[in-house]
């Protein structure tokens, strides 16, 4: 048919086009390539770290040397040469006190990244522009933290973790690796040894954070790994919503991203952590792309504490990620809402772990996987109830939607219950996008792409509604873009 | 609502010089998989006309409707369909919709997670963009859709529900009529829209169809039963059998069918 060839061409053009695939030419300072004690000392010195942190890093490094890369996930990628990676890369001007000092080239990058206009204004320092504070991590160094003043007034600490190490060493010492132990897993241990920057947040007792906090991560330099470290502490009765967006330029090589995120919620505190991950997924044949090996874990330590993870994962060549909650507080609540889209040759092995130690703790897992092209998507999740945890409830729902007949969706739930009072529910569905739905939409005037985007957005509705408003709009568009040319 | 007789309509059309061919189907052959369903089917519909196609199950009525709307599982072997003078078969389903063809589904499809409002607004604006028009503003759209839903007795809360999810049979058909009224097509092809309706729902659906009946529109009703034709009076009735139209006539043909059954017309 006449229109079809043209449409196909447009689709093909669009598929090859990663919107965020540009690189920024700014001067970058590297640590020597590869990993050694010397490199770790270099990083630590660059960051003027105290002795205890250097020791801590070195201890982690030696542990890591004896560890094996995990191979249990349903992902397949060539062996990573850990000595062929730059572990530290920073824009040369690294100590920035005011926004005027931000390299205009960098601001342009944020513009291209599609950081919402309101947040760009914030970055540019336009007064009264927005109620979103942005901490931007460019390669490995946190560039600018906005809205510091207003947050300070509320007693909220929002800064790069390097700064926090200097300014609030006691707090960092107390909580760093308290949720994800140094020896937790291969990638987390590696992160301990080489983490370069990240975000630190502390919300004081009874404070509702006056704005949403937001971090944009971006990998720019070639052959760099990004090893950021995020630590968020919500003190008693406090509330914070934290947004994280990630992009990376197009590169033929694979780049490693091994972050660690730790959240701590004390009595009656609530943390809402939302991620839109759009790292470069590689090209159609699976060349290039980010390895996204991330450890995210929350400790719902206090009674009635609550942590919600919401993630929309459309990028990365390989994703290995299980945002989890340790529910030790009485009546604490853990939630995980996830949309994972894989296209072309992307692989995602993602899910959640809910570890119930507290009496009356509850958790919800809603995971939606959308696979197309020749991609593979796996939900892997653990619900564990310990003996002392009475009256625990969990509800898990995993739905997979397949758009082609060459892709795969897999569900691997692990359930371990040691207390007879627990109520655990698990539901899983797998479906193929239906021709009837597609034709119904098209007969009403939607073209094929619009029809797919609409059906998929509907499929993800339960998750999307947990994202903050602005983020949800972005995420919806992103879903549309990620699925372009995916049916047929 | 006062219904115009077909004679009045025909006269008016002549006077308005709108007596033009809207849809012309010639020697249409369509198969699904290995099976040929439509065999050399001819049909011509002019602006202002209401046609009804009747016939027993399995004679290709729905195949005809789906082929007009562009469903890809229906493979056109030979023959042609022109719509407003253009080759319809060269167009994608969404292009056909934007250019004025509406298919009322026999089994309206559920789309979980997508609200009726969002669905309809996206559809309307996609059609408008295709025609080079601006999007309709949210306020204007809400006004339009509320008015149409009210006319057709669709409860306002149904607009916020997910498309057809958990709707009763009658509600689904009512919803189809609201969609038709909002999208305002030139040619509405209604595939067994009357099936499974109780008498009240049938009346509402008929009102919807009659409201769409104008000098510049045409309607193709596909139905199994005579009873819809008590409420919507067609200008022409065609009896379909064995993949083709075996007899055409005016509305008295329906009564003939009623008395003699389809068997008398079998191809």
Q: Nearest Cα to A246, choosing from A341, A408, A145, A113?
A: A113
Fold for the domain defined by B20-265: Rossmann fold (3.40.50)
Exposed (0-12), middle (13-18) or buried (19+): which is A63, by Cβ within 10 Å? Answer: middle
Listed by number, the residues of chain B in 127-146 with a beta carbon closer than 8 Å to a beta carbon of chain A are 127, 130
Which token pair is B68?
């007009």
pLDDT in tens, B10-28: 556 555 544 588 999 999 9
Query: Which of A103-117, B9-23, B94-108, B242-256 is most confident?
Result: B94-108
CB contact (8 A) between residue A457 and residue B94: no
What whole-number percentage of chain B has pLDDT above 90?
A: 66
**For the residues A42-55, what does the mean pLDDT come to?**
89
Exposed (0-12), middle (13-18) or buried (19+): which is B2, by Cβ within 10 Å? Answer: exposed
Please identify which residue in the block is written with the tokens 């965020």.
Answer: A20
Phi, psi of B21 (to 5 degrees): -70, 130
DSSP string spanning B165-192?
A: TT--HHHHHHHHHHHHHHH--SEEEEES
Q: To the nearest whole number, what is the mean pLDDT of chain B?
A: 89
Q: Which residue of B81, B95, B109 is the best one to mutate when testing the A interface, meaning the one whose CB has the most A CBs within 10 A?
A: B109
Q: Nearest Cα to B242, choosing from B12, B83, B34, B38?
A: B38
CA A171 to CA A148: how far, in whole Å? 19
A vs B, Cβ pairs < 8 A, gives: 95
Give the pLDDT of residue A398: 93
pLDDT in tens, B111-159: 999 999 999 999 999 999 999 999 999 999 999 999 999 988 888 899 9
**pLDDT over threshold 60, residue A26:** no
**For the residues A335-351, what does the mean pLDDT come to?**
88
Report the chain B residue with the minimal C-alpha distance to residue A459: B113
- Specify the higher pLDDT residue, B11 or A408: A408
Which chain A residues are Cβ-neighbours of B70 within 8 angstroms?
442-443
**pLDDT over threshold 60, residue A115:** no
Give the pLDDT of residue A16: 41
CB contact (8 A) between residue B94 and residue A447: yes
Give the pLDDT of residue A127: 36
**For the residues B238-261, what does the mean pLDDT come to?**
87
**pLDDT over threshold 80, residue A194:** yes
> Do residues A406 and A284 touch, judged by C-beta distance below 8 A?
no
A2 Cα to chain B: minimum distance (Å): 6
**pLDDT over threshold 90, residue A112:** no
- In this prediction the ipTM stands at 0.91
| Of the candidate ranges A80-84, A117-121, A203-207, the one whose mean pLDDT is the lowest | A117-121
Give the pLDDT of residue A434: 87
Q: Nearest Cα to A160, choosing from A124, A213, A120?
A: A213
Which token pair is A373?
């092209």
Residue B41's SS3 state is strand
DSSP string spanning B237-256?
A: EEEEETTEEEEEESTHHHHH
pLDDT in tens, A266-300: 999 999 999 888 777 777 777 777 788 899 999 99
Phi, psi of B69 (to 5 degrees): -80, -15
Which token pair is B217?
């529109």
Q: Nearest Cα to A414, choosing from A431, A441, A430, A396?
A: A396
CA A214 to CA A116: how far, in whole Å? 11
Give the CA distances from residue A62 to residues A36, A80, A81, A177, B198, in Å, rounded to whole numbers and listed in that order.
Answer: 10, 18, 17, 16, 77
pLDDT in tens, B82-112: 999 999 999 999 999 999 999 999 999 999 9
Give the pLDDT of residue A375: 85
Which chain A residues are Cβ-neighbours of B112 within 8 angstroms?
458-459, 461
Q: Nearest Cα to A158, choosing from A146, A170, A169?
A: A146
A451 Cα to chain B: minimum distance (Å): 9
CB contact (8 A) between residue B123 and residue A442: no
CB contact (8 A) between residue B92 and residue A450: no
Which chain B residues are Cβ-neighbours of A457 within 8 angstroms?
113-114
- Specify the higher pLDDT residue, A252 or B103: B103
**For the residues A381-402, what does the mean pLDDT come to?**
94
Q: Which residue of B63, B93, B121 is the best one to mutate when testing the A interface, meaning the one whose CB has the most A CBs within 10 A?
A: B93
Q: Which residue of A7, A431, A443 is the best one to mutate when testing the B interface, meaning the one whose CB has the most B CBs within 10 A?
A: A443
Give the pLDDT of residue B199: 86
B12 Cα to chain A: minimum distance (Å): 31
CB contact (8 A) between residue B111 and residue A446: no
What whole-number percentage of chain B has pLDDT above 70?
A: 92
Give the pLDDT of residue A97: 44
Give the pLDDT of residue B251: 84
**pLDDT over threshold 80, residue B33:** yes
Give the pLDDT of residue A432: 86
**pLDDT over threshold 80, residue A132:** no
Q: Count CA atoms closer than 13 A to A333's CA, side-chain side.
A: 11
Across the interface, which of A442, A444, A457 has its CB nearest the CB of B113? Answer: A457
- Specify the higher pLDDT residue, A408 or B265: A408
CA B222 to CA B233: how far, in whole Å? 13
**Residue B57 CB coordination number (10 Å):** 9
Please identify which residue in the block is written with the tokens 């890809």.
Answer: B72
CB contact (8 A) between residue A458 and residue B111: yes
CB contact (8 A) between residue B183 and residue A444: yes
Q: Count CA atoms closer than 13 A to A296's CA, side-chain side.
A: 24
**For the residues A418-434, what does the mean pLDDT come to?**
92
Which token pair is A473?
């709009």
B1 touches chain A (CB under 8 A): no
**pLDDT over threshold 50, residue A109:** yes
**pLDDT over threshold 80, residue A122:** no
Q: Which residue of A445, A462, A480 is the best one to mutate when testing the B interface, meaning the one whose CB has the most B CBs within 10 A?
A: A445
Across the interface, which of A436, A446, A459 has its CB nearest the CB of B122? Answer: A446
Give the CA distances from residue A235 to residues A178, A239, A433, B215, in Å, rounded to whole numbers and listed in that order.
Answer: 15, 8, 45, 71
> Do residues A16 and A284 touch, judged by C-beta distance below 8 A?
yes
Give the pLDDT of residue A12: 41
Confidence label for A105 from pLDDT (cuts 50, 70 and 90): low
First to last CA, chain B: 39
Confidence label for A2 from pLDDT (cuts 50, 70 and 90): very low
**pLDDT over threshold 80, residue A483:** no
Residue A98's SS3 state is coil
CA B243 to CA B246: how far, in whole Å? 9
CA A428 to CA B265: how far, in whole Å? 51
CB contact (8 A) between residue A440 and residue B112: no
CA B180 to CA A432: how far, in whole Å? 28
CA A381 to CA A350: how far, in whole Å? 8
Domains in chain B: boundaries = 20-265
A435 Cα to chain B: minimum distance (Å): 10
**pLDDT over threshold 60, residue A95:** no
Confidence label for A34 from pLDDT (cuts 50, 70 and 90): confident
**pLDDT over threshold 90, residue B221:** yes
pLDDT in tens, A134-144: 555 555 455 44
Confidence label for A28 from pLDDT (cuts 50, 70 and 90): low
What whole-number percentage of chain A has pLDDT above 90?
A: 39
Handedness of CA A50, A56, A59, A63 (dihedral sign): negative
Give the pLDDT of residue A482: 73
How big is the CA angle at B58 (ends B53 and B59), to the nearest 5 degrees? 45
**For the residues A366-370, what does the mean pLDDT come to?**
92
- Specify the higher pLDDT residue, A33 or B116: B116
CB contact (8 A) between residue A440 and residue B73: no
Numbered residues of chain A with Cβ closer than 8 Å to any chain B Cβ: 1-4, 7, 434-437, 439-448, 450-451, 454-455, 457-462
Q: Which residue of A366, A401, A444 is the best one to mutate when testing the B interface, meaning the one whose CB has the most B CBs within 10 A?
A: A444
B97 touches chain A (CB under 8 A): yes
Exposed (0-12), middle (13-18) or buried (19+): which is A301, by Cβ within 10 Å? Answer: buried
pLDDT in tens, B196-219: 788 888 888 899 999 999 999 999
| Of the candidate ranges A26-35, A368-377, B68-77, B222-231, the one whose mean pLDDT is the lowest | A26-35
Give the pLDDT of residue A480: 74
Confidence label for B77 from pLDDT (cuts 50, 70 and 90): very high
Helices (H) and strands (E) counted in chain B, each on its own, are 9, 12
B238 Cα to chain A: minimum distance (Å): 25
Which chain B residues are Cβ-neighbours of A439 within 8 angstroms?
69, 71-72, 93, 109
Residue B11's SS3 state is helix
How big is the CA angle at A161 (ends A157 and A163), to the nearest 5 degrees? 75
Confidence label for A98 from pLDDT (cuts 50, 70 and 90): very low
Q: To the nearest whole number, what is the mean pLDDT of chain A?
A: 80
| Of the candidate ranges A228-232, A250-254, A432-436, B21-25, the one whose mean pLDDT is the lowest | A250-254
Confidence label for A377 from pLDDT (cuts 50, 70 and 90): confident
CB contact (8 A) between residue B113 and residue A458: yes
Which chain B residues are Cβ-neighbours of A458 within 8 angstroms?
111-114, 162
> Do residues A366 and A463 touch, judged by C-beta distance below 8 A?
yes
B164 Cα to chain A: minimum distance (Å): 11
Q: How far is CA A409 from the centre of its chain?
A: 21
């Amino acid at each position: 048919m006449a229109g079809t060839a043209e449409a196909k061409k447009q689709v093909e053009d669009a598929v090859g086009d990663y919107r965020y695939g540009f690189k920024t030419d700014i001067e970058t300072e590297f640590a020597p390539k590869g990993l050694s004690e010397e490199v770790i000392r270099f990083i630590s010195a660059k960051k003027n770290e105290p002795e205890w942190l250097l020791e801590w890093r070195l201890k982690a490094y030696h542990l890591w040397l004896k560890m094996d890369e995990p191979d249990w996930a349903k992902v397949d990628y060539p062996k990573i040469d850990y000595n062929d990676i730059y572990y530290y890369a920073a824009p040369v001007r690294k100590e920035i006190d005011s926004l005027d000092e931000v390299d205009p080239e960098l601001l342009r990058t944020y513009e291209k990244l599609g950081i919402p206009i309101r947040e760009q204004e914030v970055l540019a320092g336009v007064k009264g522009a927005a109620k979103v504070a942005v901490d931007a991590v460019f390669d490995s160094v946190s560039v600018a933290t906005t809205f510091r003043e207003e947050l300070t007034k509320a007693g909220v600490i929002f800064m790069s973790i390097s700064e926090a190490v200097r300014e609030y060493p006691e707090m960092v010492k107390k909580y760093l690796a308290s949720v994800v132990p140094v020896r937790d897993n291969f990638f987390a241990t590696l992160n301990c040894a080489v983490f370069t920057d990240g975000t630190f947040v502390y919300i004081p007792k009874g404070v509702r954070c006056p704005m949403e906090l937001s971090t944009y991560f971006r990998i720019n330099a070639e052959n760099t790994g990004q090893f950021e470290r995020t630590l968020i502490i919500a003190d008693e009765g406090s509330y914070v919503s934290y947004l994280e967006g990630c992009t990376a330029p197009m590169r033929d090589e694979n780049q490693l991203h091994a972050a660690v995120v730790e959240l701590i919620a004390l009595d009656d505190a609530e943390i809402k952590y939302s991620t839109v991950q759009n790292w470069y997924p590689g090209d159609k044949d699976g060349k290039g792309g980010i390895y996204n090996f991330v450890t995210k874990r929350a400790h719902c330590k206090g009674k009635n504490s609550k942590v919600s993870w919401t993630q929309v994962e459309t990028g990365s060549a390989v994703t290995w990620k299980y945002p989890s909650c340790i529910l030790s507080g009485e009546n604490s609540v853990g939630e995980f809402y996830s949309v994972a889209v894989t296209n072309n040759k992307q692989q995602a092995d993602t899910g959640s772990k809910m570890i119930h130690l507290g009496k009356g703790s509850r958790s919800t897992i809603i995971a939606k996987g959308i696979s197309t092209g020749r991609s593979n998507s796996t939900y892997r999740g653990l619900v564990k109830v310990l003996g002392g945890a009475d009256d625990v409830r969990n509800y898990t729902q995993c739905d997979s939607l397949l758009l082609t007949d060459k892709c795969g969706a897999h569900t691997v739930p692990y359930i371990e219950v040691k207390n007879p009072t627990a109520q655990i529910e698990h539901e899983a569905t797998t479906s193929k996008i239906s021709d009837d739905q597609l034709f119904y939409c098209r007969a009403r005037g939607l073209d094929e792409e619009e029809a797919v985007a609409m059906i998929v957005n509907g499929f993800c509705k339960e998750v999307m509604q947990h994202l903050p408003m602005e983020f949800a709009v972005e995420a919806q568009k992103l879903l549309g873009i990620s699925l372009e040319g995916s049916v047929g | 609502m006062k219904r115009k007789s077909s004679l009045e309509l025909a006269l008016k059309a002549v006077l308005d010089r709108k007596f033009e061919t809207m849809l012309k189907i010639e020697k249409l052959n369509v198969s699904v998989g290995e099976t040929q369903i439509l065999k050399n089917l001819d049909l011509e519909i002019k602006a202002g006309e209401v046609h009804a196609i009747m016939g027993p199950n399995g004679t290709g009525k729905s195949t005809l409707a789906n082929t007009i709307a562009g469903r890809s599982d229906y493979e056109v072997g030979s023959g042609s369909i022109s719509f407003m003078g253009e080759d319809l078969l060269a167009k994608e389903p969404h292009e056909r919709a934007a250019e004025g063809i509406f298919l009322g589904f026999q089994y309206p499809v559920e789309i979980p997670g997508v609200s009726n409002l969002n669905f309809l607004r996206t559809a309307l604006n996609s059609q408008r963009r295709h025609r080079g028009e601006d999007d309709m503003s949210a306020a204007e759209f809400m006004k339009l859709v509320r008015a149409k839903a009210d006319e057709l007795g669709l409860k306002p809360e149904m607009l916020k529900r997910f498309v057809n999810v958990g709707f009763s049979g009658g509600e689904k058909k009512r919803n189809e009529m609201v969609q038709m009224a909002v999208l305002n097509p030139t040619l509405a092809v209604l595939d067994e829209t009357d099936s499974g309706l109780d008498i009240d729902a049938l009346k509402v659906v008929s009102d919807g169809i009659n409201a769409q009946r104008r000098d510049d529109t045409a309607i193709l009703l596909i139905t199994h039963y005579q009873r819809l034709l008590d409420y919507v009076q067609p200008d022409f009735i065609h009896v379909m059998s064995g993949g083709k139209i075996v007899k055409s006539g005016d509305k008295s043909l329906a009564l003939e069918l009623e008395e003699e059954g389809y068997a008398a017309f079998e191809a």
